[in-house]
């Protein structure tokens, strides 16, 4: 996280040396932009995050959290499965197209309601996930692109982000007790497990106000994890309205 945030600071300095930037990010991009605005407020005048709310500087590494609530109880948690290098890579790279399609469908607002992630420790990521049905926000052309890119790159790079919780905690702990004071926008979905931090938070917008008092929040009914893909017009309207009011 420290290096990625540093990249955004460098990008801002290169592209906009005389004016603060506005950041917008989704999924892993959300904590990246939250923490960029959090740790370098002099560079970023506003920030918007989709799917994942901001919960302040961590009190302990996230590995400790999911091992307490999942691993120690013999329950599967995808981030635990991603920890050992090579394991998740082997499953995903066996058929990148199928992996991406099943993964994306399984946490979307279009998947039938079901507890697909309640499985024992030792299960694989794809075990128990439903067969994906066609959805308008994930076309064959999209899948062609994802398949070609992941066949070329493999999955080690993106999976590596999950293997840095301890390093991220050590870096961010110096900002404990601080808040994001800039204007913030949060957009999540009622069917997105990341919006409620895997069920730990009932009202993500109220929770965020503790750490970002100037947040404006919208939780879209029926939307899963792929916020801007599932509801592009609604998300764009919210973003543009917010940007115009800054």
Count of the separate structural domains present in the chain: 2
116 and 36 share a domain? no
Residue 54 has pLDDT above 90, yes or no: yes
229 and 158 share a domain? no
DSSP letter string, the chain: -HHHHHHHHHHHHHH-TTS-EEEEEETTHHHHHHHHHHH-TTTEEEEEEESS----S-SS-HHHHHHHHTGGGTB--HHHHTTSTTHHHHHHHHSHHHHHHHHHHHTSTTSPS--TT--BTT--TTTTPPPPPPBTTB-HHHHHHHHHHHHHH-SHHHHHGGG-HHHHHHHHGGGTT----S-EEEEEETT-TTTTTTTT-S-HHHHHHTT-TTEEEEEETT--S-HHHHSHHHHHHHHHHHHHH-
Residue 199 has pLDDT above 90, yes or no: no
Q: The CATH number of the domain where 24 resides is what?
A: 3.40.50.1820
Among 106, 136, 163, identify where a domain stops.
Answer: 163
150 and 68 share a domain? yes
pLDDT tens-place string over residues 134-163: 999 999 999 999 999 999 999 999 999 999
108 and 155 share a domain? yes
66 and 117 share a domain? yes
67 and 158 share a domain? yes
51 and 93 share a domain? no
pLDDT tens-place string over residues 68-94: 999 999 999 999 999 999 999 999 999
Residue 25 domain flag: yes
Residue 172 domain flag: no
Residue 168 domain flag: no
233 and 196 share a domain? yes
Measured torsion, CA atoms of residues 103, 54, 34, 76, in degrees rounded to the nearest 10: -30
Among 163, 185, 212, identify where a domain stops.
Answer: 163
Catalytically active residues, by annotation: 27, 225
Average of per-residue pLDDT across 101-117: 96
Residue 22 domain flag: yes
Residue 96 domain flag: yes
Residue 89 domain flag: yes
Q: What percent of the chain has pLDDT over 70?
A: 100
Among 141, 163, 185, identify where a domain stops.
Answer: 163
Binning pLDDT at 50, 70 and 90, where does residue 200 land? Answer: confident
CA distances to 8, 96, 113, 228, 245 from 24, rounded to whole Å, are 12, 27, 29, 12, 15
10 and 69 share a domain? no
Residue 41 domain flag: yes
State the residue range of the domain holding 28: 2-56+177-245
């Amino acid at each position: 996280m420290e290096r990625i945030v540093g990249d955004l600071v460098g990008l801002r300095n290169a592209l906009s040396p005389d004016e603060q930037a506005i950041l917008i990010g989704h999924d892993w991009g959300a904590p990246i932009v939250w923490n960029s605005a959090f740790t370098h407020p002099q560079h970023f005048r506003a920030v918007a995050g989709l799917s994942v709310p901001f919960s302040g500087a961590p009190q302990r590494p996230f590995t400790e959290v999911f091992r307490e609530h999942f691993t120690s109880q013999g329950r599967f948690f995808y981030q635990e499965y991603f920890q050992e290098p090579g394991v998740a890579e082997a499953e995903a790279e066996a058929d990148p197209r199928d992996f991406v399609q099943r993964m994306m469908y399984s946490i979307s607002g279009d998947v039938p309601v079901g507890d697909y992630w309640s499985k024992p420790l030792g299960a694989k990521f794809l075990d128990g996930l439903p067969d994906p049905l066609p959805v308008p926000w994930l076309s064959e052309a999209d899948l062609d692109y994802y398949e070609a890119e992941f066949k070329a790159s493999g999955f080690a790079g993106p999976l590596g982000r999950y293997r840095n919780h301890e390093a991220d905690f050590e870096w961010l702990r110096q900002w404990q007790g601080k808040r994001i004071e800039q204007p913030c926008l949060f957009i999540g979905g009622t069917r997105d497990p990341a919006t409620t931090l895997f069920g730990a938070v009932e009202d993500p917008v109220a929770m965020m106000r503790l750490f970002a008092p100037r947040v404006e929040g919208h939780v879209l009914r029926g939307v899963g994890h792929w916020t801007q893909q599932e509801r592009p017009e609604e998300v764009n309207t919210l973003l543009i309205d917010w940007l115009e009011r800054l």
